[in-house]
Amino acid sequence: QVPPVESGGGSVQTGGSLRLSCAASGYTGGRYCVAWFRQAPGKAREGLAVADDGRTRYSTSAQGRFTISQDNAREIVYLQMNNLQPDDTALYFCAAGRHPARSLGGYCDIRDTSGYDYWGQGTQVTVSS
């Protein structure tokens, strides 16, 4: 399985915006969860957003500023990030994992990384004040 590939990172000033893209060929269509995570230096990897069966879930830090969307035809998952702050500086990852069994109430969870087996190399986002 080819890992997802992220792009779109860069350097912006406080208050700026970026749109990250995740080429997730083979991972869209409902059998997999595709989510965005980030990791800042010296900090744990943090789940940000996932789209799951028409619903979206966001971390507290992402809620209201970040928006996840999918282009199923092109198999790309986007993360639109607005009002970026210096604390958003991190390496941003796209990751995919098998969707937990829906018959057992399973859903895509971003609170930990254990359900995600396929990781991209990450794209750097730097926000300067």
Q: How confident is the model at residue 3 (pLDDT cuts 50, 70, 90)?
A: very high
Task: Give CA 113 to chain center in angstroms.
Answer: 12
Pick from 110, 111, 115, 92: which is nearest to 35 by CA?
110
Pick from 63, 19, 41, 6: which is nearest to 50 by CA?
63
Q: What is the DSSP letter of 3?
A: P
- Location of structure tokens 């083979």: 26
**pLDDT over 90 (residue 112):** no
Residue 74 CB partners (closer than 8 Å, separation 6+): none
Tell me the mean pLDDT in the region 67-74: 95
> 7 in the Ramachandran plot: left (φ > 0), alpha (ψ -120 to 50) or beta?
beta
Tell me the mean pLDDT in the region 57-78: 96
pLDDT, tens only, 113-123: 999 999 999 99
Could you give the CA distance from residue 78 to residue 59 in angstroms, rounded to a whole number?
16
pLDDT, tens only, 72-91: 999 999 999 999 999 999 99
pLDDT, tens only, 17-52: 999 999 999 998 889 999 999 999 999 999 999 999
* pLDDT, position 28: 86
- Contact (Cβ atoms closer than 8 angstroms) between residue 33 and residue 115: yes
Burial of 20 (0-12, 13-18, 19+ CB in 10 A): buried
